[in-house]
Amino acid sequence: MAEFSRRTAEERSIAELFGGLSQDVALLVRQEAQLAKNEMQQKLSKVTTDLVSLASGGIVALLGGLALTAAIILLLIDPIGVKPWLAAMIVAALLGIVGWVLVQRGLKDLKRTDPAPRRTMETIKDDIQWAKEQRP
């Protein structure tokens, strides 16, 4: 009889161990989900900032281009004597190049942003390894 009650106590402790492990794994999964959510929010915030920067650069380039266009066209027409249509074409080409450079810079910054939650993926791998080591 003593051996039977000892075996029951051992079985309960193993069951308790598995129950504890199950609770730990559930807590770990919840924490990993929260970490992934936080990481994605940070990346979304960075992408939003980059998009605002890109749009702002485009608007500033447009406004500056409009003011500069008028001034340069008038400068090319009057003192230099270039025909109005040619002056407008020259200025348009220059502004187009500047705008293209600004857009390329913004796109390059956006491409550098990695949308995957890398830290979370690494900790999940560590957690899986830990769980494997906990198995009897």
Averaged pLDDT in 10-residue chunks for the chain of 136 residues: 52 73 83 86 89 92 83 86 89 87 91 78 80 71
**What's the pLDDT at 25?**
82
Cα–Cα distance for residue pair 117/124, rounded to 1 Å: 11
pTM equals: 0.41
**What's the pLDDT at 136?**
58
**What's the pLDDT at 12?**
60
C-alpha count within 13 angstroms, C-beta hemisphere, residue 90? 14
Please report where in the chains the tokens 């129950």 appear, as a residue. 19
* Cβ atoms < 10 Å from Cβ of 73: 20
